[in-house]
Each structure stands twice: as structure tokens, then as C-alpha cells.
Chains A and B, each alone.
Chain A
Amino acid sequence: MQLFPSINNTGKKPQNELILISSTDGRFHIVNYNGRIEKSTNAHQGACLVAIWSPNADGILTAGEDGCVKVWSCNGLLRSTVVESEVPCYMALWSPDSNGILYTKRNYLIIHHLQAKSKITKWWAHDAVILSTAWNATNNLIISGDEDGCVKQLIFSIKEFLQPCTSISWSPTGDLFVAGSFNKISLHSDDGWPTSSLDLSLGSIYNVAWSPDGTQLAAACADGHVIFAYLIDRTYNWKNFNCTQISRKVIAIKDITTDESDQLDYPDSVVQIALGFGHMAVATVKQCFIHKLTSWNTPVTFDLKDGAVSMILLAQRCMCIVERGRLSVYSYTGRLLASPQIGSRMEARGRSAISLGPDTLASIDQTNPTFIHVYDLPTATYSISRVTADSNVTKIKHSIAACSVALSQTGPINERQIAIIDRRRDLYVITVKDPKQKPVVLSRAILSVMWSTESELLVGLRKENIVCWAYQKSNTRPELSTTVVSIPSSNIGHNPRIQSIENGMATIFRGKGSTVMHISLGIVHVEMLLKYIASNMWNEALQLCRTLKDNRLWGCLAELSLERNQLDIAEEAFTEVHQYAEVFRIQHIKHIRSTGGKVSPAE
């Protein structure tokens, strides 16, 4: 059974309220909310095991006991029989872009594109018959469960259950998934690590469904029961503040330094929480509450338009709420600043596909991931831009599809930089307002990247180390590697993610069970130097370098001062790092300037 997908297009009413039901007599039925059967179609011989709408609500996919996989129109007319097999097909799914299907064939998973003359991708996924599978649109990951109780994904394989894994489902945001078996249901993170499990006495879990906001789920059991569950104990940390959702409507917040704590009760169920930049934003099903961490008992409140909030992003001067079908930028006073129209299915975007800066918003185009849209936000003005004008939008074209974007959090808007990780895991850093800049690979095999909130420091994760880039512009001098700091770390896990960079500390979400690790980058002085430079405090920066006598500091100072035309400082800094060719070049430039541009041939 599946509800008709709700696609919120601008200015259009929600789609038809229809329910798609498959039955064991080989038919599927289209039923409206009043219970009247609109259409019944004989689809398969034997049981019709799968009947689902396409994500774009354009078609129906069915799979049956007869081994056939068929595509139908929304009216129940057969379009094509994609697969005819002698083996029953227990599971079939649409691809997130509705252009292909994924189906099971005993131990194999097969991706079949619906376009003509398209390749078929087939691989051996399990040792036993595959009973359940799920494909997330946000992270584009496929997980599957078999009769041996194994749950597998391309990057992990876990023997979760003693009994067959009868159901599996991704959360809408793609950061969690639920697997069901006989008398057991377990919650996992996206890297497969189990976070919690429930032992039941209701038989096998045949099907699991998430709510659109990803906070609740429903499961159908073999004995006829339907269980409802919601997520709790979500914990968020920022500096010395910690908040935990202890129940559906209650959040416990605590200041570790002052040991001050409080419990905040909300009128409705809490859907999303965000903590950072001195604020805590809480979204319920109806309203949004913005608390200042200095006085959390007096929040700013405003009503939400949809209520199915999938994500909240915080920045220095504004916050962004991602709802179903829309994206809104608010100030911390609750005033709507912008509502950029990026596209449909906003709820299918992952956290890595959207980045919020102090005055800029970046998003990967969902239809064409090679394009990245960067919007200028009127955070300093009093006007509300509801329709984004062309002058406020910058379109960045990348060679291949991008997976993750990150905007720098400091500096003026003209120097705003964006870090892009593409599907090859190559890292590029581009200045948004510099169209002539040619993207150059900064590093390869990067798993995660994040900008510091206090300086222009960029931190990235590789498999075995943490890399910090103090200067990210095109490095034409590969021998000058002093602006890059590499910190070896062997216990990061196979799928780590940086949560924040604060005061020289990197908060990393590991993939090995331990949720968070804090690593001291040992580059506090580098950040300090960057802050001095950002504030044009060159004397202080020079004094810092002379005091510490650190080559990394001299290297950063050298590059940045040269970029900002501080030739004297640059000369001294390049001397300290023994880059004499640069020293001579700087001296030549200084001489040219001193002579008014008149250079004799002998010189």
C-alpha cells in the first residue's frame, strides 16, 4: 500500500488523494480516500508483491510472483513489461529520478534504466534471497536485507538479525534507516551502525514507513498490529551548550560551564533542532522557535507554512528552513528574508547538498547536479526578496556532478569561497564572484569538508588524516606546502563527517559507533593569524609570526600578504620560508614600483 506522492509545485494544489494497493490475487487497486475503488487491474499471475508510485507521480511500478516487472500509467494502463523472469521478484523500486528501476532477482540487485538502449547494472548482493531493499534519494544509497538477516550496502555489511530481514526503509533525510525482522526492529545510522533496537512480540515486521519529517515511523506486523514509533534522544552540541530531545515535546538544554539547565516544553511535537551561532532553533509541526542561548526562556516564534521541516541550517546572520517543496531564509528575529525557488522535492535534499553562509546560500541543482546555484541574501537590507532576480544568482558549472558544497563563513561577500566535492571525491575551492577563475583540484579522496566559523580555514577529512588548508587559492607553487596542515588520524572510521570547526577543535562524527570525536587541530595560531589578516592587522600578524617562528605561519603570511599586496611583509615571510625566488620577484616588483615603472634593459 502506498499513498500518492505529494509534489508541492508552486501555485498548484496538492495532487490527487489516491492510495495504491497490491493484492495477492495478482491485482492492484487504485482507491481514493473515500474508500471507493477507482480502478482494479489484473497485473500478475500469482501475487502482486510490489505496487508503488513513481517519485514524480508519473507512473506505477509493479512486480509479481510470476517474475514480471511492469510499468503502468497512473490510470492503470500498461506501458511496458520491463522484466520477464522465471524467478519471483520480491522487491522493486523506482530510482530517485524516476528514470530507472531497481529490482531483486534472488541474490542479485539489478538497476534497469527505462530509456532505450540503456545499460543494465547487475551485481551479486547477498548470499541468500533478497527480501527487502531501499534506495534513498538524498544520499543515493541502496541498502538491502536478505533471508539470512544480513543488511548490506556498498560500504558496509552487517549481520543484524537471526531471522530474515523482512523490511528496510531509509528516513527521508537519508541519515537513518530502519530494518525489521522477526520480533525485532532496529534503527541504524547511514553508515550501518545500529543506534537502537526494539524487541517486540508481534511477529515479523513486513513493512516500515517514515513520516515526511523523518521523526516518526509506522511498521506493519505479521499478527495484524501496526506500531508507531518516534525518535527521541537526539543530542546536539555547540561549544559549551548541549541540548537533548527527551520526549516528543520536551527538550532539555544545559550549559556545561555554568551547570545551568532547563527543560523546554513545546505545544507540538518537535521535528527538527539546530544549535549554533549563539542560537537554538526548534521547529515543531506548526511553529518555529528561535532561542538565544543567553536567554532561552524567551524565544522568537513564527508560524511555519508546511510543517514538514526536513532541515534547519544556521549561519552567522540568518537561518534557513527546508520544508517540503520550499526553502525559506529567516533572520534570527523571525523575519522572512528570502524564499529562493530552487526546485521541487526540497525534502529529498541532503544536508551536504545545501550550504548557508552569512549572506549567501548555495545549492546543488537536483535535476542537473553539475550546476550549483549561489544566491545572495539580503541579510543587511530590509527588503524581502521572494522572487530571486538574476543578478542575485550565480550559477557555477562543474565538469561532473557535485556531491557536497560548503560556503566560507567569514569575509566579505565579494570574497566568498565555495568548496565543492564531486563524485570522484575531488575537492575544488572557487571564489563565487570570480567568474574567470578556473577550478583546480585542491585535493583528492576527500570524504568531508567544512569551513571554520571564525576564519578562512578549510578542514577536510581523508581516510587516514585530517587536512587543514589555510590558503585555498590556486597554488601555482606546489613546493610551497606550508599552508597545508595534515594531522594523521587512524580511528576516524570509514564514513566520517565533520560537524563543526570551533576554536581549533574539529568535531567529527565517526562511522565506527562512537558518535563524536573532538580533535585538536593544533592550528590555533594559524586561525589567529588568519583573523589578523582578515582584520588587516598586519603588524600583529607579523609579530605573531616573528614570535612563534613557525614555518606554517610564515608560509600563510607570505601567500596572503602577497595576495593583498603587502610586499614588505611578503618579502620577509618568503625569506623565512626560504623561497628566494619569490623574494627576488618581490624585490623586482618593488623596484619597478619605486622607479615609476621605468626599467632599464640591464636590470
Chain B
Amino acid sequence: MSYRDLRNFIEDMRVLGCPQQVSMESFRGPNWPLLESCVRWLAARVDPDAALGGSADTLEGRVALVSHALELFVPFEVPASTRLPASDRPAYQSELTALERELEALWDRYVLRYRCVEALKQQLSVLERAHSEQDMKKKNVRILIYSVLQNHRHLSDYANVLLLCDPIAPNDRGRCVVVVRSWCGRGVVVASAQAAAEQQAAVMQLIHKYEAEDVLGKLSATDDEDSSEASSSSGQSGGSGGGGAAAGGGGTARTQATHAAAHQHGRGAPRRAFGSMAARDSLDDVRPDSGSDSPRDLGRRVRAAGGRPGTRTLAGADDYADFGEGNDAIRDVGLDSESSSDSELQRAAALTDDEF
């Protein structure tokens, strides 16, 4: 042992209260008796019930003594990566000191990495929390829009509603307004179930009237063409902004029959619904425009919006089945012009976050 190691060892033994006096000259040479007494005393300090085997008299006894002492002093398992081969086990204090230093360095690195991982986990959780909050905000926006639509709010008020909607961030409110206005421009008309039923009833009346006048029969050959042109023109004019009344009227004229008629004729442009409306135009020319908001004016509004529907396609009862109070489900409505109003709603709900 070097001077410093021996001095530190002696000091440590004094601090521990070892009654055996260790001299500076004790370990200048092999001193197994003293080593045995020190080891047994230390073992008794660690575990009073421990009984070390071996002795300092023979070689085997010494090996046993040291082995038992090491097992007692080092109870935990050393990881395999740091375990040294038996032949390379340190026999000298200096090597043991170097190993201890290396272990300390490894431990420090492990602690550093562990801390980095924990920090990343924390950041990830924060990010996820932010994402979830944002998703929640968007859901709140959609719910609000739906509720507003349910309450027959004028589209022009939607922007105000969005602006007043607190959960939506100011930046997001502007985008919502843009989207809603785009809906207005495309002539998205959202009507409640009641309004749709009224409209349907008004349309049926017109149909019955025109049947009585045999308008539909005369127009059977030209309805398809006119309806297709009208539907194409109505489809083209769907993008322009129209009044809310127009949205409440002619927008729903796009029905499945229009699609079917357009496809039957094999023309790219869909047939205009209510092909008999072309005849009605002539009647409208005859009949003075009173300007009153009667169901008959719906047709005018449709014309004002963007043309006379070519063919009439009656919306099925199931098409408006989703509209009702308390129905919070918002369908994804595509922005296809041939879809119905609920499809518009669905498209609105299906708008991605990027559009907001």
C-alpha cells in the first residue's frame, strides 16, 4: 500500500472506532494476521451475525476469507458489462481505484442520459397536451357552428358569431370567417328540417300545378337539355354569393334526379332540376313579378341565384332526417355541388384543420 492509502486506511479505521491500532509500518509487507483481524472487525460492523470463513494461516484459508468478506461487503450484483473476467480482477489498489473511477464516469453518463430522456418525455407530454387542447378548441368551433346553423342563423351572422366565439383563437376566427364566407359564396344553404319540409311542400304544389297545366308533358323532350344546362348554370353560379333567401330556396333543388338525368343524357353538365321551370320562366314573364316572398318566389330566387333548375329532383325524406334539434352529429359534407345540404354540412364538418 502506498503512504497515502495506508494513512487514509488508518484514519478510516480510527473514525470507525477500530480498537486495533494500525501502524504506518503495518503493511510494508504482507501482514495477514492484521488483515484478518481488521476484516473480521469490519464484517462484524457491517453484519453482527456474519461469520467469515477462512483464516490467515493457509493460502486456501486466506482466499476463503477474502472471498467471504467481499461477498459480505459487496452484496449487490455488478452488471455484466462492468464485470471483469476473473483473470483481470484487480489485484492492486491502483487498478481498483481506476475501475472505481471508470464506474463513476459511466454512472454520470447514465444519469445524464436519463435526465435527457425525462426532459424529452416532459416536452412530448406538453406538446401532446397542446395538441389536445387545440383539437378541443376546434371541436368546440364545430359544435358552435352546428348549433348556429341549427338556429337558422344568417350566414352573415356566422362570422360575427365566430368572432364572438371565445374558445376560438383570434387567428383562427379570421379563418373561420373566410370559410363561412366561402360557403356563402358557393350558395351553401342550410335549412332546418321545418324549412325543408315547407320548401318541399311548395315544390310539390308547383309540380301539381304544372302537371295540371301539362307543362311537364310539353317539356319532356327539352327538359333534359334545359335541365342539364340549367343545372350546369346553377352549378356554376353556385359559387357566387347570394342572399340567404336564395340559399334557403333554390339550393336544395339539386337533387339526385338531377344527377340521374344528367347522366342519362350523357352530357357532362348535369341536368337542371325542375325542367318544367323553364316553362315557368315563360309564365313568369307573363305573370308580373310581385316581389313578395311567396313560395313561388323561390323559383325567382333560384333564378337570381344562378339559373333555372333543369330537372326536378325531389329530395328523399331521409335526406333531411339528420336535421333536427339535439342531433349533434355533424356529417362530413363534401364540397361537391351535386350533393345535398346535409352533404354540405358534412363537408363543412369534414373540413380539415388546415382550412381553419
A222 adjacent to chain B (CB < 8 Å): yes
- The answer to whether A129 touches B3 (Cβ under 8 A) is no
Find chain A residues with CB under 8 A from B25 CB: 106, 129
Docked complex: A87-114 residues within 8 A CB-CB of B: 88, 90, 106
CB within 8 Å for A24 and B4 given contacts A163-B14, A222-B11 = yes
Find chain A residues with CB under 8 A from B4 CB: 24, 47
Which residue of the partner chain, among A24, A46, A65, A129, contacts B23 with CB atoms under 8 Å? A129
- The answer to whether A49 touches B15 (Cβ under 8 A) is no
Q: What 0/1 pattern do residues 2 to 37 of B give for CB contact below 8 A with A?
A: 111000000100110000010111000000000000
Find chain A residues with CB under 8 A from B24 CB: 88, 90, 129, 131, 147
CB within 8 Å for A147 and B23 given contacts A163-B14, A204-B11, A204-B14 = yes
CB within 8 Å for A47 and B2 given contacts A90-B24, A129-B24, A131-B24 = yes
- The answer to whether A203 touches B3 (Cβ under 8 A) is no
Q: Smallest CB-CB separation from A86: which chain B residue? A: B28
CB within 8 Å for A88 and B3 given contacts A163-B14, A182-B14, A203-B15 = yes
In the assembled complex, the Cα of A49 lies from the Cα of B6 at a distance in Å of 13
Q: Smallest CB-CB separation from A162: which chain B residue? A: B21
In the assembled complex, the Cα of A300 lies from the Cα of B196 at a distance in Å of 118
Q: How far is the CB of B2 from chain A (nearest CB, A)?
A: 7
Q: How far is the CB of B222 from chain A (nearest CB, A)?
A: 108
In the assembled complex, the Cα of A164 lies from the Cα of B24 at a distance in Å of 10
- The answer to whether A128 touches B23 (Cβ under 8 A) is yes
Q: Smallest CB-CB separation from A106: which chain B residue? A: B25
Q: How far is the CB of A276 from chain B (nearest CB, A)?
A: 47
Q: How far is the CB of B134 from chain A (nearest CB, A)?
A: 56
In the assembled complex, the Cα of A463 lies from the Cα of B303 at a distance in Å of 144
Q: How far is the CB of A316 from chain B (nearest CB, A)?
A: 55
CB within 8 Å for A203 and B23 given contacts A47-B3, A47-B4, A88-B3 = no
Q: How far is the CB of B328 from chain A (nearest CB, A)?
A: 72
Q: How far is the CB of B7 from chain A (nearest CB, A)?
A: 8
Q: How many residues of B contact A (CB 8 A)?
A: 10
Find chain B residues with CB under 8 A from A24 CB: 2-4
Find chain A residues with CB under 8 A from B23 CB: 128-129, 147
Q: How far is the CB of A358 from chain B (nearest CB, A)?
A: 55
Q: How far is the CB of A594 from chain B (nearest CB, A)?
A: 86
Find chain A residues with CB under 8 A from B21 CB: 147, 164
Find chain B residues with CB under 8 A from A46 CB: 2-3
Find chain A residues with CB under 8 A from B14 CB: 163, 182, 203-204
In the assembled complex, the Cα of A574 lies from the Cα of B21 at a distance in Å of 72
In the assembled complex, the Cα of A549 lies from the Cα of B73 at a distance in Å of 90
In the assembled complex, the Cα of A59 lies from the Cα of B14 at a distance in Å of 37
In the assembled complex, the Cα of A164 lies from the Cα of B14 at a distance in Å of 10
In the assembled complex, the Cα of A528 lies from the Cα of B201 at a distance in Å of 154
In the assembled complex, the Cα of A129 lies from the Cα of B26 at a distance in Å of 11
Q: How many residues of A contact B (CB 8 A)?
A: 18
- The answer to whether A49 touches B11 (Cβ under 8 A) is no
In the assembled complex, the Cα of A204 lies from the Cα of B25 at a distance in Å of 18
In the assembled complex, the Cα of A182 lies from the Cα of B12 at a distance in Å of 11
Q: Smallest CB-CB separation from A149: which chain B residue? A: B21
Q: How far is the CB of B93 from chain A (nearest CB, A)?
A: 13
Find chain B residues with CB under 8 A from A49 CB: 3
Find chain A residues with CB under 8 A from B11 CB: 203-204, 222
Q: What 0/1 pattern do residues 26 to 61 of A give for CB contact below 8 A with B?
A: 000000000000000000001101000000000000
In the assembled complex, the Cα of A24 lies from the Cα of B21 at a distance in Å of 23
Q: Smallest CB-CB separation from B8: which chain A residue? A: A222
Q: What 0/1 pattern do residues 216 to 260 of B give for CB contact below 8 A with A?
A: 000000000000000000000000000000000000000000000
Q: Smallest CB-CB separation from A90: which chain B residue? A: B24
Find chain A residues with CB under 8 A from B2 CB: 24, 46-47, 65
In the assembled complex, the Cα of A182 lies from the Cα of B21 at a distance in Å of 12
Q: What 0/1 pattern do residues 155 to 188 of A give for CB contact below 8 A with B?
A: 0000000011000000000000000001000000
Find chain B residues with CB under 8 A from A222 CB: 11
Q: How far is the CB of A21 from chain B (nearest CB, A)?
A: 15
Q: What 0/1 pattern do residues 131 to 167 of A give for CB contact below 8 A with B?
A: 1000000000000000100000000000000011000
In the assembled complex, the Cα of A47 lies from the Cα of B3 at a distance in Å of 6
Q: Smallest CB-CB separation from B25: which chain A residue? A: A129
Q: How far is the CB of A206 from chain B (nearest CB, A)?
A: 9
In the assembled complex, the Cα of A204 lies from the Cα of B3 at a distance in Å of 16
In the assembled complex, the Cα of A46 lies from the Cα of B4 at a distance in Å of 10
In the assembled complex, the Cα of A129 lies from the Cα of B2 at a distance in Å of 17
Find chain B residues with CB under 8 A from A47 CB: 2-4
In the assembled complex, the Cα of A204 lies from the Cα of B24 at a distance in Å of 14
Find chain B residues with CB under 8 A from A129 CB: 23-25
Find chain A residues with CB under 8 A from B15 CB: 203
In the assembled complex, the Cα of A165 lies from the Cα of B25 at a distance in Å of 15
Q: How far is the CB of A166 from chain B (nearest CB, A)?
A: 9
In the assembled complex, the Cα of A131 lies from the Cα of B25 at a distance in Å of 11
Find chain B residues with CB under 8 A from A88 CB: 3, 24
Find chain A residues with CB under 8 A from B3 CB: 24, 46-47, 49, 65, 88
Q: How far is the CB of B73 from chain A (nearest CB, A)?
A: 23
Q: How far is the CB of A344 from chain B (nearest CB, A)?
A: 36
In the assembled complex, the Cα of A106 lies from the Cα of B28 at a distance in Å of 13
In the assembled complex, the Cα of A106 lies from the Cα of B25 at a distance in Å of 9
Q: How far is the CB of A91 from chain B (nearest CB, A)?
A: 11
In the assembled complex, the Cα of A86 lies from the Cα of B82 at a distance in Å of 40
Q: How far is the CB of A122 from chain B (nearest CB, A)?
A: 19
In the assembled complex, the Cα of A164 lies from the Cα of B2 at a distance in Å of 19
In the assembled complex, the Cα of A128 lies from the Cα of B24 at a distance in Å of 10
Q: What 0/1 pattern do residues 544 to 569 of A give for CB contact below 8 A with B?
A: 00000000000000000000000000
In the assembled complex, the Cα of A10 lies from the Cα of B15 at a distance in Å of 50
In the assembled complex, the Cα of A24 lies from the Cα of B1 at a distance in Å of 12
Q: Smallest CB-CB separation from A148: which chain B residue? A: B21
In the assembled complex, the Cα of A582 lies from the Cα of B4 at a distance in Å of 78
Find chain B residues with CB under 8 A from A204 CB: 11, 14
In the assembled complex, the Cα of A235 lies from the Cα of B15 at a distance in Å of 37
Docked complex: A290-346 residues within 8 A CB-CB of B: none
Q: How far is the CB of A455 from chain B (nearest CB, A)?
A: 58
In the assembled complex, the Cα of A147 lies from the Cα of B25 at a distance in Å of 10
Docked complex: B21-69 residues within 8 A CB-CB of A: 21, 23-25
* B contact residues vs A (CB 8 Å cutoff): 2-4, 11, 14-15, 21, 23-25
Between-chain CB contacts (< 8 Å), 15 pairs: A24-B2, A24-B3, A47-B2, A65-B2, A88-B3, A88-B24, A106-B25, A128-B23, A131-B24, A147-B21, A147-B23, A147-B24, A164-B21, A203-B11, A222-B11
A49-B3, A129-B24 known; 13 new pairs, CB 8 Å cut-off, are A46-B2, A46-B3, A47-B4, A88-B3, A88-B24, A128-B23, A129-B25, A131-B24, A147-B23, A163-B14, A203-B14, A204-B11, A222-B11
Cβ-closest 9 pairs across A and B:
A47-B3, A24-B4, A222-B11, A65-B3, A182-B14, A147-B23, A129-B25, A204-B11, A129-B24
